Structure 1
Amino acid sequence: MLEIVKSGGWLMIPIILCSIIALAIIGERIWALQKRRICPKHLLAQIWNWIKNNELDTAKIKQLQSGSPLGRILAAGLLNRGHDRAIMKEAIEETGRQVVIDMERFLNTLGTISLITPLLGLLGTVIGMIKVFTAITVQGVGDANQLAGGISEALITTAAGLAIAIPSLMCYRYFQRKVDELVISMEQESLKLVEVLLGMREQDLAEAE
C-alpha cells in the first residue's frame, strides 16, 4: 500500500488529507444527524403536559433549548406564546434557520472534497503524462521503467481521486436529504405547537367573556 502511495507522487498527500477529512465529517454527521438527537419523540406531548399541569416555566424552556434542535425551535414559540400567530411563526422560523445552518455544518466541505479530489487526480494524470513525454523526448522509448513510472503515477492519482470523490459525493447527497427530512419533521411539530397554543389562548378568551 505504501509503495502505491509513493508511486502516485506528491499529489497523493492532498488526496490522502482529503480522505481523512471526509471520513471525519461523515462520521461526525452520522452521529449528529440521528433523528432521536434532532427530533426526540414525544417532545410536544411533554410540553403539553407541562402546560396542562402549569409546570411550564423559564427553567423548563431553557431545558428545551439545550436538549435538542427541535427543542430550540419549540422554545422560541413558547417564549412568544403571548403574541399573535405572525410573531410566533417569525420567532420559530428565525430559530429554525439557525438550526438548519448547524445541521448543515461541514456539508459544504464534504461537497467541496467530492469536487476537488477528481481534479487532483486529473492533475496527477497530467503531471504523470508530462513526465512520460519528457522521458520520451530526452531518452526515447527505450527506457521502459521511466515510461512505466510516469504512467503509473498518472493512473494511481486518478484512481485515488475517484475513490475519494465517489463516496464523498454519495454521503453529501445523503446528508442533504437527511437534513431536508428532519427540517420537514421539525416544521410539522412547530405548526402543531402554534395551533395548540393559539387554541388554548382562544379558549381562555372565550371563557373570560
Structure 2
Amino acid sequence: MPRLGRAVGIALAQVLLVTASASAQDASFFQDGQVDVPALIRAGGIIGWIIVGLSVAMVALILEHLMSIRRGSLMPRRQAEELHQLIANNQYNEAETLCRQRHSFLGFVVGAGLQETGLGYTAVEKGMEDAAQEQAARLYRKIEYLSVIGTLAPMLGLMGTVWGMIQAFGEFAEAAVPQPADFAPAISQALVTTLMGLAVAVPALAAFAIFRNRIDEFVAETSLVAEHIIKPLKRSIVEKRKGRPAATGTAPTAAAGSRPSVPTVAMEREPRR
C-alpha cells in the first residue's frame, strides 16, 4: 500500500506539472513590448494559480490583523477606566463580570488576576502573567500563517520554474538545429512562477515582521496597564493583613465624578508607524 500511494502521488504530480508546463508554453505575455499581466498569470499554469490563491489568503490575513491587532482592540481605554474604578471601590465581582462581558486582551489578563484574589497578591500577579503569556502565544500563532505563506510561495515558484526549465531544455535538445532565439521564450515562461512566488513572499514576510513587533509592543503595554489597574487590590490586601478595613472609593481621582487615572504610556501615546 505505501508503494501504491507513492506511485499514485508521483503520477498525479506529473500530470499537474505537465499541464502547468503546457499552459505556460501556450501563453504569450508580451504584447508590443509590454507585459500582459493576465497572460503572465496564465503562463504560470496550475502552480501559478496556487500562488495566486496564497496571495488572496495573504491579503485577507493582513486586513484581519490590521483590525484585530491594534491598541483599541487589545486594551480598550473605556474598559481600562471602568475596571480601575471598580477595583478601586473594591467591587471585584463587578470587575470580573465586566472582563467576561467585554472580550479583550486587557480584560482577559485582569480577569485572570481577579480570580486569584483569595490566594494573595502574589497569586494575582502570577495569574496575570500566565494569562498575558497565553494571549501573546495565541496572537503569535495567529500571524504565523503569514510566515507559512512567505515560505511556501517561493518554494512553489521554484518548483514551477525548475519543471519549466526541464521542459525547455528537453525541447532544445530535440530540435534539429536549435537556435538561442527559440530557447529564450521557454526560459522566460519558466521563470514566471518564481516571479509570482517572490511577489507573494516579500509582502507576506514583511507583514509578519511588522505584526510580530506590534504584538511585542502591545503585550508589554497591556501588562503595564493591567498592573496599574490592579494596584488598588494590592493595597486592599495589604490593609486586610494589617487588620485594618480596606478603604473604599480611594481611586486616585482629582474630584468626584472625574475619570480615574490610567497610565498615558499606553492610552495617550500615538501608535508607532
Which one has a larger percent helix, Structure 1 or Structure 2? Answer: 1
Q: Is the 8 A contact 1:125 1:158 kept in 2?
A: yes
**Structure 1 unaligned regions, length at least 5:** none
Q: How many residues align?
A: 207
Q: How does 1:110-189 map to 2 (within 5 A)?
A: 110-140=146-176, 141-142=178-179, 144=181, 147-189=183-225
Q: Which has the higher contact order (CA 8 A, sep 6+)?
A: 1
TM superposition score normalised by structure 1: 0.88
Instruction: Look up the match of 1:82.
Output: 118
Q: Which moved more, 1:82-91 or 1:170-179?
A: 82-91
Instruction: Look up the match of 1:92.
Output: 128
Map Cα deviations across residues 32-65 of structure 1 (whole Å, 9 max, x no partner): 112101011254432232234454425x413213
Q: Which moved more, 1:44-53 or 1:90-99?
A: 44-53
Amino acid at match of 2:82: Q
Give the Å deviation of 1:143.
Answer: 8.8
Q: Is the 8 A contact 2:92 2:114 kept in 1?
A: no
Instruction: Look up the match of 2:248.
Output: none
Q: Which moved more, 1:158-167 or 1:187-196?
A: 187-196
> Secondary structure of 2:191's match?
helix
What is the CA–CA distance in structure 2 between the aligned matches of 1:193 and 1:43, rounded to whole Å? 10
> Secondary structure of 1:30's match?
helix
**Structure 2 unaligned regions, length at least 5:** 1-36, 246-273
Q: Is the 8 A contact 1:35 1:182 kept in 2?
A: yes
Q: Is the 8 A contact 2:157 2:198 kept in 1?
A: yes
Q: Percent identity?
A: 25
Q: Which moved more, 1:9-18 or 1:49-58?
A: 49-58
Instruction: Look up the match of 2:73.
Output: 37
What is the CA–CA distance in structure 2 between the aligned matches of 1:192 and 1:83, rounded to whole Å? 20
Matching residue within 99, 105, 113 for 1:64? 99
What is the CA–CA distance in structure 1 between the aligned matches of 2:87 and 2:116, rounded to whole Å? 14
Q: Is the 8 A contact 2:96 2:114 kept in 1?
A: yes
Q: What root-mean-square deviation, in Å, do the aligned CA atoms of Structure 1 and Structure 2 show?
A: 2.2
What is the CA–CA distance in structure 2 between the aligned matches of 1:111 and 1:178, rounded to whole Å? 15
TM superposition score normalised by structure 2: 0.69
What is the CA–CA distance in structure 1 between the aligned matches of 2:89 and 2:144, rounded to whole Å? 44
Q: Is the 8 A contact 1:132 1:150 kept in 2?
A: yes
What is the CA–CA distance in structure 1 between the aligned matches of 2:234 and 2:88, rounded to whole Å? 14
Amino acid at match of 2:38: L
Q: Is the 8 A contact 2:112 2:127 kept in 1?
A: yes
Q: Which moved more, 1:2-11 or 1:196-205?
A: 196-205
Give the Å deviation of 1:100.
Answer: 1.5
